[in-house]
Amino acid sequence: MAYANGLAFSLGVEIFPVSSLELMAIAAQRAHRGPFLCLKTAHGGNVYAGLFVNGETAEMRHGPPCSVIPAIAGGLTRVCVAGPTKEEVPDLLPDVTVEDSGIEEADVAVLYCVTRATVADPGRLVPVASPINEASRIFHEPASSRHARRS
């Protein structure tokens, strides 16, 4: 992240921040119906989880899979899942139809396509990008606050 920020600063350009969870959701929507639950393994048996609905981030959480996954996807009737821990999801969402997207990780080809499309949406560019980790604000604020800040 420091390298990207330094490079952008030295070139006088802005950065397109996109998370690996977002990239997995974008890749999954090419062949599947949403909503999409994207998961990344975190330290201590935790996960980073993102729920994406209609191309938007609906919810982001960090914590133990047994509490995070039901909290953000338990009210759904169906969900398409991406990420390395997707095999755990059906047991944690017994009343939800769970579809496997077949996607394990973010894909650099998807990043390239999304970044090229950013030319049409310069509102997503930022002067400095921050790494996403368990302390990131995105995991500790309601989705409505993120949408209001972006507008």
Q: Determine contact, residues 51/37, Cβ cutoff 8 Å.
A: yes
All domains of the chain in start order, with CATH: 2-150 (3.30.420.40)
What is the average per-residue pLDDT within 3-26? 90
Q: Determine contact, residues 112/92, Cβ cutoff 8 Å.
A: no
Q: How far apart are CA 95 and CA 75, in angstroms?
A: 9
Per-residue pLDDT tens digits for 15-37: 888 889 999 999 999 999 999 99
Per-residue b or e along 17-52, where b marks 16 or more CB atoms closer than 10 Å to that residue's CB? bbbbbbbbbbbbbeebebbbbbbbebeeebbbbbbb
Tell me the pLDDT of the chain averaged across its residues: 87
Q: Determine contact, residues 133/44, Cβ cutoff 8 Å.
A: no
Angle at CA 142, nearest 5°, toward 78 and 52?
A: 30
Per-residue pLDDT tens digits for 77-103: 999 999 988 889 999 999 999 999 999
